[in-house]
Amino acid sequence: MDKARLRKIGLANLKWLHQHPALKEQKEQAISLELFQDPMWQKAQTIAITKPLDFEFDTHILLTEGWSAEKQLLMPVTNSERRLTFHQVTPETVFEKTAFGVEEPVNGLEVGIDKIDLLVVPGIVFTRLGFRIGFGGGFYDRLLQQYQGETCSLVFSEQIQEHWTIESFDLPVKRLFIS
């Protein structure tokens, strides 16, 4: 199956899950608990996450847990060259909605990707080996080519699809947390 079709199916699955908030929240809790107990999270001091769209994994619990553990948390900002830069977020951070409908921090200090210990990579569809299909902009594909640290994704079982052609530029995330 081609990526465009899989992306469409993945989005439909995520939107279905969003229509079942108790199930979605239960899965988010299970995934978060597993992540917080993992050495990947525990060792990381600087963690990059996203501010999700309403049907994606709600990362609010990661912010709360990260700040409580005194971790430096970052969120991406898209720049004019269609690349991501990462900016520190705090409870006082101001966000602005982009043309894509994503909220990005507008007042956080920029931090280089070489300072990120753990990159939590979003996606629409995943294989169990960590390959992913995103929204189609290639932002994280380009980033993963440069980034050398730990990577993981927080995945609902509804996002798992095993059968598509992996392309030469596709790089897997190192660890999936699935429920």
| Residue 7 annotated as binding site | yes
- How far is 62 from 42, CA to CA, in rounded Å? 12
* Per-residue confidence (pLDDT) for residue 90, from 0 to 100: 96
* Per-residue confidence (pLDDT) for residue 98, from 0 to 100: 87
Q: Structure tokens of 72?
A: 């430096």
| Residue 28 annotated as binding site | no
Residue 17 pairs in a beta bridge with none
- How far is 143 from 120, CA to CA, in rounded Å? 12
| Residue 140 annotated as binding site | yes
* Per-residue confidence (pLDDT) for residue 136, from 0 to 100: 80
Q: Structure tokens of 5?
A: 């079709």
- How far is 63 from 128, CA to CA, in rounded Å? 26
* Per-residue confidence (pLDDT) for residue 138, from 0 to 100: 83
* Per-residue confidence (pLDDT) for residue 99, from 0 to 100: 82
| Residue 112 annotated as binding site | no
| Residue 82 annotated as binding site | no
- How far is 173 from 22, CA to CA, in rounded Å? 28
CA 25 to chain centre: 17
| Residue 130 annotated as binding site | no
* Per-residue confidence (pLDDT) for residue 169, from 0 to 100: 81
Q: What are the respective helix, strand and coil percentages of the chain, to the nearest 5?
A: 35, 25, 40
| Residue 128 annotated as binding site | no
Tell me the CATH number of domain 3-178, given options 1.10.246.90, 1.10.357.10, 3.40.50.10420, 3.60.10.10.
Answer: 3.40.50.10420
| Residue 123 annotated as binding site | no
* Per-residue confidence (pLDDT) for residue 82, from 0 to 100: 81
| Residue 138 annotated as binding site | yes
* Per-residue confidence (pLDDT) for residue 67, from 0 to 100: 98
Rounded to two decimals, the pTM is 0.94
* Per-residue confidence (pLDDT) for residue 168, from 0 to 100: 84
Query: Across the 179 residues of the chain, what is the mean pLDDT of every consecutive 10-residue run?
Result: 91 97 98 98 98 94 97 93 92 91 92 98 96 89 94 98 86 97
| Residue 139 annotated as binding site | yes
Ranges of each domain in the chain? 3-178
Phi-psi region for residue 101, left (φ > 0), alpha (ψ -120 to 50) or beta? left
| Residue 71 annotated as binding site | no
| Residue 55 annotated as binding site | no
Nearest one of 95, 33, 94 to 65, comparing CA atoms: 33
